A and B are shown apart, each in its own frame.
Chain A
Amino acid sequence: MSISDEVLILKFKRGDKSSFRRLVEKYQSKVYSIVLAMIGDKNDADDLSQEIFIKVYKGLTQFNGRAKFFTWLYRITINTCINAQNTRKRKPETILMSYPVGEKENPLSTQLSQDTVRSPMEILENKELGMKIKLAIDSLSDGLREVFILREVEDLSYKELSKILQCPEGTIKSRLFRAREEMKKKLTPYLGE
C-alpha cells in the first residue's frame, strides 16, 4: 500500500516538500480527467489543473485534516471549473475536434495524430461509442454534470459526494438518477441489447 494522504500532508507540513509531489502524482490524473470532462478543452484543462494544485499547495499548511484530503481537493477542483465556466465561454465543439472520427480502419495505415490522448479501449474498440459518450456527458445539464463526473472518476459514496458538492445526500441521489436518465436517452441506440 502507498502512504496515506494524511501522512503525506503531515510530512509536507514538517517541511518535506517531496511529499507534495507524491500527492500531485497520486491525484493528477483524476483531477485532470474531471477538469477535462467539465471544460472540454485540453489546453484549458491543463492550465486549470495546474491552477488547482497551486491552490492546494498554498492552502495545504492550513488544511486541518478534519475532512478527508480528497474531499477538499475535489471541492477545489469543481469550484475552479465552475468559476472558469462562468468567466469563459464554454466551447463544446473542441471535444469533437480532439477526438478524430472516421479514421480509416486499415491496419496498415493507422494514422493517429501524435498528441491525441485516448483510452486504450477507444484505440481498439468502440471508438465511435467513446466519442458519443463524451458528447453525452458534455451535454448534461449544469448541476448534473459535476456529480456524474465525480461519481464516475472516483466511485465516491453519496455521503462523500454530498460533502464535496455541499448539498444533501438526497439531492446527490436524485441528480445522479437524472443524469443517467439523460445519458440513457442519448445513448440508447448504442447500448444494445
Chain B
Amino acid sequence: MNCDWLKENLSAYVDGEMNFITRWRIKRHLKECLECSKELRQLEKIHKLSKLAILVSPESHFYDRLKAKLPKVETIEHKKNRVFENIWIALPQGGKAAILVGIALILFLSVIYPRLSSTSLNIDRFEKEYLLSQETLTCVGEPATSLILTSE
C-alpha cells in the first residue's frame, strides 16, 4: 500500500465505504505513516466542522406556515370552521355586539391595561435579581437559579 493510493481513497475510508480487509490495511499504514495520518485528521476535521456549519434549524413555526399553503385536504379543520361560521351567522345582532365588546375588553385587560399602569411590577423580577447576586458567590448552576421561580 503506498501513500498516493491511500490519499485518493482516504475520503472513502472516512465515509466508512471500505471493506473490512482494506480498512484493516489502511489502519496499519496510518499507524506508521505520519504524513497520511495527518491527512486523515484533516479530513475528519473537515467532516466534523462542515456538519456543524451546515446543520441549522429553519425559521420558527415552519409547519404552521407550511400548513397554510397546503392544498385543501385538511378536512377536519374545515368542518370546524363551518360550525363556527354557522353559529356566528345565527347570532342576533345584540349577541354579536356582546361578543365583540367581550373580546375588546379581554384584549384591553390582558395587553393594554398592564402597559398603561407601568408602575405595577411583579415580584419575580426582584427575586431573580436577588438570585443572580447570590449565584455569583456560589458559582455555576449551584442553586438552580431563576428557573425555580418561573416554575412555581
Contacts and interface: CB of A to CB of B under 8 A. Distances in A.
Direct contact, A vs B (beta carbon within 8 Å):
yes
A133 B57 CA distance: 18
Interface string B55-89: 11111001101110111011010000000000000
B56 A180 contact: no
Contact of B57 (A29, A134, A173): A29
B38 interface: yes
A152 interface: yes
Interface in A58-101: 58
Interface string A39-66: 0001000100110011001100000000
Contacts of A130: 49, 52-53
User: Range of interface residues on chain B?
Assistant: 35 or more
B33 interface: no
Interface in A127-160: 129-130, 133-134, 137, 148-149, 151-153, 157-158
Nearest to A20: B70
A42 B58 CA distance: 9
Main secondary structure of the interface of B (DSSP, over half): helix
Contacts of B52: 119, 121-122, 130
A149 B38 contact: no
A176 interface: yes
A180 B43 contact: yes
A37 interface: yes
6 contacts: A24-B63, A28-B62, A37-B54, A54-B66, A137-B50, A191-B45
